[in-house]
Amino acid sequence: MQNNKIFVRNLAFSTTDGELSGIFASCGEVVSAKMATDRDTGRSRGFGFVQMNTQEEAQNAILNLDNSQHNGRTLYVAISESRERKQNTTYGNSW
């Protein structure tokens, strides 16, 4: 399975989808970029997801952009975990 989807957090609340795409464009072809928004208010939640064209481009983006500065904020950039993987994770004392 090719994992080319990236999770990025600590973005300025004013960051748009287009700006998010622009941040990652220097690392390869951006397939999609989407800021997470609150369902009720529509306001940004300060994090988003970027899908790069290839897994190599995603890794390049992580290497170059993790802990980088954008709009005075330090970005956290990592491979996004799939929802299925998160749902199958158990916590605590499972026997």
Angle at Cα 43 formed by Cα 67 and Cα 70, nearest 5°?
A: 20
**Res. 82 pLDDT band, cuts 50 70 90:** confident
Residue 94 has pLDDT above 60, yes or no: no
Question: Is residue 42 included in any domain, yes or no?
Answer: yes
Kindly state whether residue 46 falls inside one of the protein's structural domains: yes
The pTM (predicted TM-score) of the whole model is 0.82
pLDDT at 83: 63
Spatial distance between the Cα atoms of 75 and 40, rounded to a whole number of angstroms: 26
Specify if 17 maps to a domain: yes
Q: How confident is the model at residue 68 (pLDDT cuts 50, 70, 90)?
A: very high
57-67 pLDDT tens trace? 999 999 999 99
Domain residue limits at 62:
5-82
Whether 91 is covered by a domain: the verdict is no
pLDDT at 91 over 90: no
In a domain, 64, yes or no: yes
Q: Is residue 54 part of a domain?
A: yes
